[in-house]
Structure 1
Amino acid sequence: MKHRSVTLPRLPLLIISHSLCLAVGFAIGIYLLPILTAPESPPKSAIEYSRQSQRFLGHFTRNREDSDQIHWGEGEFSINKDSISFVGKLAPGPDYKLYLSPLFIETEAAFNQHKAGMVRVGDIKTFDNFIIPLPSTIDPAQYNTVIVWCEAFGQFITSGQYQP
């Protein structure tokens, strides 16, 4: 009596393997696209000029509760009457927004719970150093925390408190 080995049909296996490769490629593309399309960071001289009239100073650190290996920021930010500037690094990602909050926030849940009381300052397009114009309608003294948030994926990146 001969034993016949049972093999899976090749088509479903090919569909599964190619779908997996497509999904991995798509994920890598989402990660790399913001890096490839990011404009040049502002020169250090522009950031230093912005810092000369700073009203507030704070830090982003990697050890926030909802920061992780691919969602983080570290460095120093300063706020003056016209802009918020940052010297440091952010993990690359799409659709980053800069928010001011009246409460210290370090989790996605807290961000979503208190978002109505925050103000969105602008878009972050670079991942090392930035200057974001501060609209004249926003008074940073009314807030105490700067937050970097990924709008596309609803992901907390980092935050820093600049006043108690």
Structure 2
Amino acid sequence: MTIRSRPSPRLRTAVLLASHALTLLVGFGAGVYALPILTAPPGPSAEQVAQAAVDSMYRGEFRRDLKDSDALHWGEGTVTVSPQQISFTGRLAPGPDYKLYLSSEFVETEADFQRLKPTMLRVGDVKTFENFIVPLPAGADPSRYTSVIVWCETFGQFITAARYRDPS
């Protein structure tokens, strides 16, 4: 006959606290990831993006294979830059608080972004994860820059970048 000992009340309490804390942490992480998806407005249609790209002066590609892009932080598709706006046909990994920047240097790491951020132009918010059109600020001259970058401001995460013209 085998006699089983019961775990001590302290051990049982510690296991319960650890399991509940882990569940809370996983739930919070899932909420941070899911909330932007649930609250995102619909993106512009392919026709609207194509119309916005008609006046574009430049074109670039967001790619998944950049140094600091990973399974949760990526973009892929075509970005066009006109004197009035930046338009994008493709998909971005969902996330909160995405900002669009213009940079005079191409970056593909968080460290490079942080180093160059003071010299960049913050264009505006990216609120959709499939296609977007973001107007340029008044007086912005896209010919002064070479690259478009999507950055998660809240978590300081590099998402993606595209070079749209070679530096002069």
If the TM-score is normalised by the length of the shorter chain, which range does it land in? over 0.9
With the length of structure 1 as denominator, give the TM-score of the two structures.
0.95
With the length of structure 2 as denominator, give the TM-score of the two structures.
0.93
Give the structure 2 partner of residue 152 of structure 1. 154
Q: How does 1:1-164 map to 2 (within 5 A)?
A: 5=5, 7-8=7-8, 9=10, 10-164=12-166
Cα distance in 1 between the residues matched to 2:118 and 2:125: 18
Pairwise CA distance, 1:161 = 0.2
RMSD: 1.2
Pairwise CA distance, 1:6 = 6.4
Pairwise CA distance, 1:69 = 0.8
Cα distance in 1 between the residues matched to 2:6 and 2:41: 55
Question: Which AA in structure 2 matches 1:131?
Answer: I
Please list every run of 5 or more consecutive structure 2 residues that lacks an aligned counterpart in the other structure: none
Cα distance in 1 between the residues matched to 2:73 and 2:119: 23
Cα distance in 2 between the residues matched to 1:142 and 1:22: 47
Cα distance in 1 between the residues matched to 2:139 and 2:32: 34
| Large movers: runs of 4+ above 4 Å | none
My pick for the range that moved more, 130-139 or 86-95, is 130-139
Q: 1:105 to 1:4 in 2, by over 3 A?
A: same
Question: Which AA in structure 1 matches 2:70?
Answer: D
Cα distance in 1 between the residues matched to 2:18 and 2:84: 53
Cα distance in 1 between the residues matched to 2:139 and 2:24: 45
Output one character per residue of 1:86-129: Cα deviation in whole Å (capped at 9) or x when no partner. 00000000000000000010000000011111010000000000
My pick for the range that moved more, 70-79 or 6-15, is 6-15
- Number of residue pairs aligned between Structure 1 and Structure 2: 162
Question: Which AA in structure 2 matches 1:85?
Answer: S
Cα distance in 2 between the residues matched to 1:4 and 1:58: 67
Pairwise CA distance, 1:81 = 1.3
Please list every run of 5 or more consecutive structure 1 residues that lacks an aligned counterpart in the other structure: none
